[in-house]
Amino acid sequence: MPLQRTTTLGAVLAGGAGSRLGGGKATAGLAGRALIEYPLSALAAAGIEAVVVAKADTELPALAVPVVTEPQEPRHPLAGIVTALRHSRGRPVLVVACDLPLLTPALLEALAAAPGPAPEPLVLAGPGGEPQPLLGRYAPQILPELEAALAREEPLRRTVASLSPRLLGDAELSQFGDPAELLLNVNDRSDLARAGDILAAR
């Protein structure tokens, strides 16, 4: 097992329904592996302890990491983030969506370390200046704000904008590869095919 190099907990969120992929997003096949295995492998290579956060009825492959069950309702991306922070025992959480198969260990290490002059409460990937709430480091002190936003079922992007996140923009992301490839989000079969082509070319 790789040596853990950070106290940050990695949380791969797998609570989405994956309807545009025909269901079972976490188990969708990509180059002979389940989609969720890719971010988990990148976290392991980065030395980041990981868990999977999912609804009780989420279809998952056999996993070598713990599964933390989030409440069935509401079906909201904040539910997974809040559940992960509650589970982390006061540690920061590096949130990673299960449908980001092209992330590199070096990028995850950089996010987990919360680069900057001081540890910021929220650090997100921000390609093109657009915050990506499902790829970022959430500090435990913002849990109350996230819980309140979840109770209101506030849109996730509005919630993270209100927390003034530090963004890793294109210049920083480019140190780890092409941002458009690194952050390719697999939502449908065409995305899955593109991800397969990129993996084959690497």
How many degrees, rounded to 5, is the angle at CA 56 between CA 71 and CA 147? 20
Which residues are CB-contacts of 126 (< 8 A; sequence separation ≥ 6)? 132, 165, 167, 168, 169
**What pLDDT is attached to residue 143?**
96
Q: How far apart are CA 112 and CA 57, in angstroms?
A: 29
**What pLDDT is attached to residue 117?**
44
Phi/psi-derived region of residue 47, left when phi > 0, alpha when psi is between -120 and 50, beta in every other case: left
Instruction: Identify the bridge partners of residue 50 per DSSP, sorted by sequence position.
Output: 10
**What pLDDT is attached to residue 63?**
94
Predicted TM-score (pTM) of the model is: 0.92
**What pLDDT is attached to residue 106?**
96
**What pLDDT is attached to residue 25?**
87
What averages of pLDDT result for each successive group of 10 residues across the chain (202 residues)? 70 77 82 95 96 94 95 92 96 96 96 67 93 96 96 95 94 94 93 93 84
